[in-house]
Structure 1
Amino acid sequence: MLKYQNISTSILQFLRRQIVCGKIKGGERLNENQLSAELGVSRPPLRETFRILETESLVRTTPRIGTFVTKLSGPDFNQICDFRIMVESFAVQQLKTIGIKELPGLERLVEEQNAVKIPKKFIDDEQKYTLFWQFANFHIELVESAGNSYLTQWYRGLASNIARYQYLFFFQPGSIAKDLKDHTQMLALIKSGQFHEAQTFLNAHLEYQRKKLMQTLSRFEASDTGTI
């Protein structure tokens, strides 16, 4: 029998993945009774999961009405981009301040990314999700490398919400190859002590994502479905 904590963790990972991948769409209500029956769990761990997802900005709970997945939107994504540029650029500045050039965790990630063989056809959504996080974790690791635990906690708290937007763009033609090239270049600049150039390159990388994702979001909004 699974321990209560393990059950709660499993529910959280499952629902988080479903939301990030778009299986559960923005605006959709999370029915407590239905999920309890489908997942074979009691309500307390579900409610705890909803609470955590709300801290990650993935859901909103309205008393006596219900819990709903937050919708994706252009204005929200613009704010996220501003946040990422501020935090990640500061992380690079911190690396310069404390004189760190060697980043073994980031280097390992880039090596793994370069070794990945992108399948022509994915077996299932789990394979796609795993590949996505191999690349998305680059930015989390970059922030963690700055050694500021508060900054890391803050960034990780929004990582899943950031991922929802990234996931929309990640599998578009050419996106993975560009990510790989940019991550490799950013790491090289940091390792060579070119921190200002690394900041400039990082900002350009994030602004490129902003531009491409805003185009994607505009297409969704033009469809007038009410959800993304």
Structure 2
Amino acid sequence: MSGHLRPIKLDSYKPLRELVCENIRQAIIDGTFSPGERLMEIQLADEMGVSRTPVREAIRKLELEGFVVMIPRRGTYVADISIKDINEVYEIRTSLDVLAAGLAAERINDDELETLQRLLVEIGQHIEENNMDKIVEVDIAFHDVLYQASRNERLRNIINNLREQITVIRGRSMMYPGRLADTMEEHRALVDSIAARDVERAQNAARIHLENAEHTLLKDMVESHNEKKNKE
């Protein structure tokens, strides 16, 4: 196991098992742990400076989220996301985001609209600084405001339940060359259509954004597969 996890700092209000879970999840998302790599509880615990119990609890949660696979008598491995997984996630998320964008165009208030515009500026700044962690963090905040503006609590709950499955693939799509610039333009088009209270244009902007993100991710997977195959 080649990963190097950050030691856990016990200065948070969150339970230890949640901090451990977030640490391992982020290492999987940013590629510190590769698909198919085995995760050893003892080594993970040593790296983070914790006991095996919160690590074991974290791994169970990550299995439910689809980040790891536990194989009896063999151990725990980082899950390898398939094209089928991506298609299913994006089918669901596209439908939800299109609905949320249309509702937001009808129901957003001035403060939320101003927040969306401010977050767009922040994302642009982080792109210039090439700070991927901050880009993902602000992108999540951007979409949270959009979902809030839909004024549909059940829709927000469904999207939140899907959040972790979205997060694991969001970062990989964004890191593809040229994708960040395209994302900025797609976000800007979405905000402009919502500001104009144009429901149909907002829905179309959300659909285009998600379709482009999925296309980019699939292209990256194919290229990575071909590169790996050429090295064999």
TM-score by length of 2: 0.80
Aligned-residue sequence identity (percent) comes to 26
* Pairing 1:110–2:117 present: yes
1:112-131 superposed matches below 5 A: 112-115=119-122, 116-118=124-126, 122=130, 127-131=131-135
1:73 to 62, 79, 82: 82
Paired residue total: 219
Unaligned ranges ≥5, structure 2:
1-8
Single out whichever of 166-175 and 12-21 deviates more from structure 2. Answer: 166-175
Whole-angstrom CA distance in 1 between matches of 2:215 and 2:19:
35
How many Å apart are 1:140 and its aligned residue? 3.7
The one-letter amino acid paired with 2:170 is Q
Preserved CA contact (<8 Å) 1:27 1:68: yes
Partner of 1:137: 141
Question: 2:202: which partner in 1?
Answer: 198
- Structure 1 distance, partners of 2:71, 2:13, is 26
Instruction: For residue 132 of structure 1, report the CA deviation from its aligned partner.
Output: 2.2
Shift of 1:181: 2.0
The alpha-carbon deviation at position 151 of structure 1 amounts to 3.0
1:175 pairs with 174, 179, 192, which one? 179
Structure with higher RCO (Cα < 8 A, 6+ apart): 1
- Structure 1 position 89, deviation (Å): 1.3
Q: How far off its partner does 1:53 sit? A: 1.7
Name the CA distance, whole Å, in 2 between partners of 1:103 and 1:30: 47
Matches of residues 17-28 of structure 1 in structure 2 within 5 Å? 17-28=26-37
* 1:90-120 deviation per Cα after TM superposition (whole angstroms, max 9, x unaligned): 2234446xx4032634642431331442466
- Aligned letter for 1:195? V
CA 1:175–1:119 in 2, change beyond 3 Å: closer, same or farther? closer
Q: Give the gaps of 5 or more residues in structure 1.
A: none
Distance 1:92 1:73, change over 3 A: same
Classify the secondary structure of the residue corresponding to 1:117.
helix
2:108 matches 1:101: yes
- Distance of aligned partners of 1:44 and 1:64 in 2 relative to their CA distance in 1, 3 Å threshold: same
30-39 or 65-74, which deviates more: 65-74
Query: Could you tell me the TM-score, scaled by structure 1's length?
Result: 0.82
Query: Which residue number corresponds to residue 4 of structure 2?
Result: none
C-alpha offsets along residues 168-219 of structure 1, whole Å, 9 cap, x if unaligned?
Answer: 2313343222222221221221122101111012111211122222111111
